A and B are shown apart, each in its own frame.
Chain A
Amino acid sequence: MSPARRKGARPGFWAWIGGLLLVPLIGVTVLRFTRGLGATTNLSDRFPWGLWIGFDVLCGVGLAAGAFTLTSVVHLFNLRRFEPIVRPTVLTAFLGYGFVIVALMFDLGQPWRIWHALVFWNPHSVMFEVAWCVMLYTTVLALELSPVVFERFRLAGPRRALRAVYTPLVIAGVILSTLHQSSLGSLYLIVPSKLHPLWYSPLLPFLFYVSAIGAGLGMVILESYLSGRSFGRRLELALLEPLGRAMAVVLGVYGVLRLLALRRGGALPELLTPGYESGMFALEFCLAVLLPVGLLCVPRVRASERGLVAAAFLAVLGFVVGRLNVAVTGMERAAGVRYLPSWMELAVSVGLVAVGFAVFALAARHLPIFPEAASDEPDEPEAGETARAFSESVPA
């Protein structure tokens, strides 16, 4: 038994919290499907998209962007030293997409018809493209993760088969991710008269794409920190410090793009008018760009566990505020109403996140997700480096 397994095996404080969150989740689920959206949410004809789209879908997909970034870095650009953090990242992303899909089941008026998107096509709809990409990319993530299961149950055949198609798989993952990460921004291109000028921009697809990569890297750092803590391991600083640097660059580029978009849209004066919208923009920009980039620019901060984790946390928080600003803050003025989620909407989002954490912990305990756990398998000498597409062609 590795220390990782022993330590994670006792149900602690967080397990109790997670269990408690399940109670309202189950109750609200029953209400949602028997009484409808009106009885459970604060959504209305004036405000048809709320927390479940703004947080669950937009943030759930965006924060999973670390997976396509890291798989391409490791398997296409061949920076193999990042390999040990690929599996937990892909697992996080897979759970993230699972979270998005389950949340959509709550948000869609008739979720049992979700297969309609496969049958009734409308290539002019951004939503149609997002639906296909999310479905295909979730499949890609499942396949990218499957070596973990094959290893656990010692299935050599499927592992070999998967290795043969791993590179095309990673390429498909990058393309699909690029498409739908940006398309979540394109969803809002069609509402120029509704979305506030501080957020509306023809550059929305680019802004969504770049910010997702930045926050996705932040999630990789956070996830490594959290799993390191709960499994009693040290943070792999040598790996995460360069990720922190990359994140600073991406967030910096994003910040510049964001300001250029504002200037292009003539929205810079809006920035100087004090008010609800400009305040929320300032909050978003500080959390998502200024603070993390500022922190990461200091070498001493960047090289410390605390500094890295703080910057990553701020970036992720800023990302969430930014997405909610597009989905909620920026739409309120045109709608003529304020939207705050009901406690039941919150209960679903929080409850589903808790389920995601629980599944991650279970998977980390029982499957070879982390390098230490993987080295448990005595008959699999290259475990932990699985999915090395070309390991066969490279003599050991």
Chain B
Amino acid sequence: MGAGLLYDATQCIGCEACAEACKQENALPQPIEKVTTAYTWTTVTPRAGTYVRSLCMHCLEPTCVSVCPVGALRKTAEGPVVYDAGKCIGCRYCIMACPFDVPKYQWDRAVPVVGKCVMCADKVAKGEPTACAAACPTGATLFGERDALLAEARARIRGNPGQYVDHVYGAEEAGGTSVLMVSGVPFEELGLRTSLPRQPLPLLTWQVLSKVPDFVALAGAFLYGISWITRRRDDVATREARR
């Protein structure tokens, strides 16, 4: 299933070392903004008496990848969902459709592109941890194999039932994500969407799109049949009239 990140909100001290490391690694302009933007791909915000990190969840079956008309977004085999700015036409369907509101746009530019966390795909491809995980002083953001991280998350919850909410955010949301979160306060209080379907969202459109070829064949045959019949009826009527 590839690489992933585990963010443990109970371990986070809000130092923003992850956000700063992200800026450096991806050559993003300062400052670190309050919410994620095309120029700030991850943030740490105090909320409900704890901290919450915002970053791309790197879905196992990403909505953004499925909606992009030109295939500018791609899920790599290693886990990260990456973006090819050279392909993007700027339709912003990814921004509109993402269940986690992750992709952001360069609204201030005449030639804009999308900005989002790419899980340091180049480093991950070389087997190195992401910049944010490497920079985290407390281990609140852990890098590893998703399977191992999911097991670790569940073990933490089981080991300290009083300390954690009994849910791993990202285990099943929208079909599961490479980034997992555990927290001491309910996830909706952290501002995360908790009503997401358990099935991957791209299925919803694929159910319709996959029927297009059959529809074209059937409708073509039906409409041609109709026009043949009406034309034939006209021909017969004309011939009858001449007689």
Asked if B212 and A36 make an inter-chain contact with CB atoms under 8 angstroms apart, the answer reads no
| Chain B residues whose C-beta falls within 8 Å of the C-beta of A72 in the assembled complex | 223
Asked if B92 and A49 make an inter-chain contact with CB atoms under 8 angstroms apart, the answer reads yes
Given the known interface contacts A114-B89, A189-B208, the answer about A126 and B67 at a Cβ–Cβ threshold of 8 Å is yes
Nearest A residue to B87, CB-CB: A120
In angstroms, how far is the closest chain B Cβ from the Cβ of A225? Answer: 29
Asked if A122 and B219 make an inter-chain contact with CB atoms under 8 angstroms apart, the answer reads no
Asked if B97 and A190 make an inter-chain contact with CB atoms under 8 angstroms apart, the answer reads yes
Question: Tally of A-B residue pairs with Cβ under 8 A?
Answer: 179
Q: How far is the CA of A356 from the CA of B232 in the complex (A)?
A: 39
Asked if A121 and B108 make an inter-chain contact with CB atoms under 8 angstroms apart, the answer reads no
Q: How far is the CA of A202 from the CA of B224 in the complex (A)?
A: 30
Given the known interface contacts A121-B71, A127-B69, the answer about A179 and B91 at a Cβ–Cβ threshold of 8 Å is no
Query: Of B9-17, B141-149, B164-172, B189-197, which binds chain A?
Result: B189-197
- Let me know if A77 is at the binding interface, CB within 8 A: yes
Asked if A43 and B215 make an inter-chain contact with CB atoms under 8 angstroms apart, the answer reads no
Asked if B205 and A37 make an inter-chain contact with CB atoms under 8 angstroms apart, the answer reads no
Given the known interface contacts A124-B206, A190-B97, the answer about A110 and B67 at a Cβ–Cβ threshold of 8 Å is no
| Chain B residues whose C-beta falls within 8 Å of the C-beta of A325 in the assembled complex | none
Asked if B223 and A191 make an inter-chain contact with CB atoms under 8 angstroms apart, the answer reads no
- Let me know if A111 is at the binding interface, CB within 8 A: yes
0/1 interface trace, chain B 77-112, chain A, CB 8 Å (1 if under): 000000000011111110111010100111111111
In angstroms, how far is the closest chain B Cβ from the Cβ of A380? Answer: 22
A109 contact from B63, B65, B90, B104, Cβ within 8 A? B90
| Chain A residues whose C-beta falls within 8 Å of the C-beta of B71 in the assembled complex | 120-122, 125
- Let me know if B230 is at the binding interface, CB within 8 A: yes
Interface residues in A91-136 by Cβ distance below 8 A to B read 107-111, 113-114, 116-117, 119-129, 131
| Chain B residues whose C-beta falls within 8 Å of the C-beta of A205 in the assembled complex | 208
- Let me know if B209 is at the binding interface, CB within 8 A: yes
| Chain B residues whose C-beta falls within 8 Å of the C-beta of A193 in the assembled complex | 99, 193, 195-197
| Chain A residues whose C-beta falls within 8 Å of the C-beta of B223 in the assembled complex | 72, 76, 171, 174-175
- Let me know if A2 is at the binding interface, CB within 8 A: no
A75 contact from B109, B193, B227, Cβ within 8 A? B227
Between A78, A131, A190, the greatest number of chain B beta carbons within 10 A of the residue's beta carbon is seen for A190
| Chain B residues whose C-beta falls within 8 Å of the C-beta of A128 in the assembled complex | 69-70
Q: How far is the CA of A191 from the CA of B71 in the complex (A)?
A: 19
Query: Of A245-253, A302-310, A368-376, A387-395, which binds chain B?
Result: A387-395
Q: How far is the CA of A21 from the CA of B97 in the complex (A)?
A: 34
Asked if A36 and B107 make an inter-chain contact with CB atoms under 8 angstroms apart, the answer reads yes
Q: How far is the CA of A33 from the CA of B90 in the complex (A)?
A: 13
Q: How far is the CA of A395 from the CA of B205 in the complex (A)?
A: 49
In angstroms, how far is the closest chain A Cβ from the Cβ of B103? Answer: 8
Q: How far is the CA of A199 from the CA of B26 in the complex (A)?
A: 39
Category for how many chain A residues contact B = 35 or more
Query: Of B41-49, B124-132, B153-161, B233-241, which binds chain A?
Result: B233-241
B66 contact from A43, A111, A125, Cβ within 8 A? A125
- Let me know if A379 is at the binding interface, CB within 8 A: no
| Chain B residues whose C-beta falls within 8 Å of the C-beta of A109 in the assembled complex | 88-92, 105-106, 111-113
| Chain A residues whose C-beta falls within 8 Å of the C-beta of B92 in the assembled complex | 48-49, 109
In angstroms, how far is the closest chain B Cβ from the Cβ of A235? Answer: 27
Asked if B67 and A190 make an inter-chain contact with CB atoms under 8 angstroms apart, the answer reads yes
Asked if B219 and A38 make an inter-chain contact with CB atoms under 8 angstroms apart, the answer reads no
Nearest A residue to B223, CB-CB: A171
Between B37, B69, B106, B204, the greatest number of chain A beta carbons within 10 A of the residue's beta carbon is seen for B69
Between B89, B97, B227, the greatest number of chain A beta carbons within 10 A of the residue's beta carbon is seen for B89
Asked if B112 and A44 make an inter-chain contact with CB atoms under 8 angstroms apart, the answer reads no
Given the known interface contacts A48-B96, A117-B89, the answer about A37 and B226 at a Cβ–Cβ threshold of 8 Å is no
In angstroms, how far is the closest chain A Cβ from the Cβ of B18? Answer: 20
| Chain B residues whose C-beta falls within 8 Å of the C-beta of A202 in the assembled complex | 204
B205 contact from A76, A110, A190, A194, Cβ within 8 A? A190
Interface residues in A168-226 by Cβ distance below 8 A to B read 168, 170-171, 174-175, 178-179, 182-183, 186-187, 189-194, 202, 205
Asked if B97 and A39 make an inter-chain contact with CB atoms under 8 angstroms apart, the answer reads no
Asked if B89 and A167 make an inter-chain contact with CB atoms under 8 angstroms apart, the answer reads no
- Let me know if B220 is at the binding interface, CB within 8 A: yes
| Chain B residues whose C-beta falls within 8 Å of the C-beta of A174 in the assembled complex | 219, 223
In angstroms, how far is the closest chain B Cβ from the Cβ of A341? Answer: 15
Asked if A35 and B110 make an inter-chain contact with CB atoms under 8 angstroms apart, the answer reads yes
Q: How far is the CA of A315 from the CA of B197 in the complex (A)?
A: 35
Q: How far is the CA of A121 from the CA of B72 in the complex (A)?
A: 10
In the A-B complex, the 10 residue pairs with the closest CB atoms: A109-B90, A38-B107, A78-B230, A127-B69, A128-B69, A48-B95, A120-B70, A48-B92, A122-B71, A76-B227
Could you write out 5 A-B pairs with CB less than 8 Å apart? A36-B108, A46-B101, A109-B112, A113-B90, A394-B235
Q: Which residues of A contact B (CB under 8 A)?
A: 33-39, 43-46, 48-49, 72, 75-78, 107-111, 113-114, 116-117, 119-129, 131, 167-168, 170-171, 174-175, 178-179, 182-183, 186-187, 189-194, 202, 205, 331, 390, 393-395
